[in-house]
């Protein structure tokens, strides 16, 4: 099945957490790392997040680079229940780049109508045990002409993409703090029963960004 090239971006503590137990994630990494994330956004056709990230962080996901990119990346959200606040920042700046919501409109026709009214494009997709069928989402994005997607989390979306075998590259920004086992994990459960089943990546770059490290990995 054709799909876009997927880059997974993670901004974590030393122990691989993307937020505190209460969901606070802004900001784990420093200014230099965050500036690189803006450039990564500008270099991709779309930026994708899970619905919980929208509900918790309310990001705009536009690329704030200087100068701004010639074309801003589209914003893509996955949500089974279309449970996205209509006053989310992304809809406030919808003129800058489209917002595409993948979910199940039949679950909530009322929310479907509300999100369409604020300018979202709703794409119907089936769900499985772990949420929307991400393989179907990626196939549809490819059909819509998206060649590259930056997945910015959270941990559940990241795990779904890994499970689907869809992550081609990882951009990992690691900050020198620890958040502990009750912090939100960079990747939700994957339930591998043997190391041999775990996907391996090859490190292709390692840089210092002020106090942080930036590691880049390609699928091995």
Ligand X SMILES: NC(=O)c1ccc[n+]([C@@H]2O[C@H](COP(=O)([O-])OP(=O)(O)OC[C@H]3O[C@@H](n4cnc5c(N)ncnc54)[C@H](OP(=O)(O)O)[C@@H]3O)[C@@H](O)[C@H]2O)c1
Strand pairing report for 5-12 and 148-151: parallel
| C-beta of 127 vs 142, nearer to ligand X | 127
- Asked whether the beta carbons of 170 and 201 are under 8 A apart, the reply is yes
**Calpha distance 103→76 (Å, rounded):** 11
Which residues of the shown chain bind ligand X in the complex (CB under 6 A)?
10-11, 18-19, 23, 25, 28, 49-53, 56-57, 78-81, 83, 130-132, 134, 152-157, 160, 184, 188
| C-beta of 7 vs 25, nearer to ligand X | 25
Q: How far is the CB of 93 from ligand X (least distance, A)?
A: 19
Q: How far is the CB of 213 from ligand X (least distance, A)?
A: 14
| C-beta of 126 vs 195, nearer to ligand X | 126
Q: What single-letter DSSP state applies at residue 200? A: -
Sole residue written with tokens 């992304």: 90
**Calpha distance 30→69 (Å, rounded):** 22
Exposure letters 41-71 (e unless 16+ CB within 10 A, then b):
bbebbbbbbbbbbbebbebbbbbeeeeebee
Q: How far is the CB of 135 from ligand X (least distance, A)?
A: 10
Residue nearest ligand X, Cβ-based: 154
Q: How far is the CB of 92 from ligand X (least distance, A)?
A: 19
| C-beta of 42 vs 166, nearer to ligand X | 166
| C-beta of 42 vs 51, nearer to ligand X | 51
> Got the DSSP string for 87-130?
T-HHHHTTTTS-EEEEE-GGG-HHHHHHHHHTTPEEEE--EETT
- Asked whether the beta carbons of 69 and 42 are under 8 A apart, the reply is yes
Q: How far is the CB of 100 from ligand X (least distance, A)?
A: 14
Q: How far is the CB of 70 from ligand X (least distance, A)?
A: 25
| C-beta of 88 vs 188, nearer to ligand X | 188
């Amino acid at each position: 099945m054709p799909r876009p090239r997927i880059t997974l971006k993670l901004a974590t503590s030393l122990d691989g957490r993307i937020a505190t137990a209460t969901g606070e994630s802004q900001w784990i990494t420093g200014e230099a790392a965050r500036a690189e994330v803006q450039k990564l956004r500008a270099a991709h056709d779309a930026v994708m997040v899970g619905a919980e990230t929208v509900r918790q962080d309310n990001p705009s996901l536009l690329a704030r680079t200087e100068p701004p990119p010639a074309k801003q990346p589209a914003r893509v959200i996955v949500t089974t229940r279309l449970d996205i606040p209509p006053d989310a920042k992304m809809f406030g700046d919808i003129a800058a780049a489209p917002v595409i919501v993948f979910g199940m409109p039949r679950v909530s026709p009322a929310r479907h109508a509300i999100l369409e009214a604020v300018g979202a494009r709703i794409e119907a997709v089936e769900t499985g045990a772990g949420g929307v069928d991400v393989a179907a989402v990626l196939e549809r994005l490819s059909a819509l002409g998206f060649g590259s997607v930056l997945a910015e989390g959270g941990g559940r979306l990241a795990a779904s993409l890994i499970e689907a075998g869809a992550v081609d590259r990882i951009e990992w920004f690691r900050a020198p703090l620890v958040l502990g086992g009750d912090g939100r994990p960079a990747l939700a459960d994957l339930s591998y029963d043997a190391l041999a089943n775990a996907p391996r990546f090859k490190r292709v770059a390692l840089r210092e960004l002020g106090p942080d490290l930036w590691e880049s990995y390609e699928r091995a």
